[in-house]
Structure 1
Amino acid sequence: MDLSIPADTGGADPAVSRPRALGDYGERLAARHLLGQGMAILDRNWRCVRGELDIVAREAHELVICEVKTRSGEGFGAPFEAVTWRKLRRLRQLGGLWRDDHPAEAGGPLRIDVVSILCLPGRPARLEHLRGVC
């Protein structure tokens, strides 16, 4: 699994592509971490008209909606601090919509986790997995 942050933006606006590359990198790290924890990844970047789910996974009998927050600095606080109660409410609603779209895989209780990744220059990424935040 490629976990590098792409340096070449392919001619795209670097102001737009750099945050996207950082987010993609964070999601790859999160997916690798979740797999290492024994979870099965059911879906990534699932979208509908109401929003997007970063990662949908299964751990034993629980369906896990995993929000991934990646930051390159601490100027706005820890990455997980960006997940507000409004965001958690939306994730729960989106989890229900994902279940409607995937009835064969949707059984069990719904849990929401947050994977917070901080990528400071010159340091290894710091990953924090918060389980069952909602």
Structure 2
Amino acid sequence: MWWRRAPWRDGSGVLVVPGGSPEVPLEIAASYRARRRGLLGRDGIGGAMLITPTNSVHTFGMRFAIDVAYLDRSFRVLSVVTMRPGRLGLIRPRARHVLETEAGAMAEWGVRPGVRVAVRLTEGRNRAG
């Protein structure tokens, strides 16, 4: 049907934030298994993780605080929150994707509500915004 799109797949890419911010290495978690694991068990991340599709996250079992950006279908940032380990995030009904990274990084990159980010794929067969 015309409104259906091919599903995302696990892979990697680059996050592009308008305004001259450097491109950010990106991991894409699209399968159930990859979305469920997310950043659990890690001590940090050298870029960001795109979790899709989802409209909420949690930090149970996390070892570090993270910034979470909720994105709509067109990759426009709806909100950005910082979550400490052991928290349950609110469901964002309009969100379709979530970006996660170490706390403080989103502000450095210029990711804030209203900004439209883009994803450029480097591995895997995915859809990009």
TM-score calculated relative to the size of structure 1? 0.27
Q: TM-score normalized by structure 2?
A: 0.27
Q: Which has the higher helix share?
A: 1
The structure with higher relative contact order (CA 8 Å, sep 6+) is 2
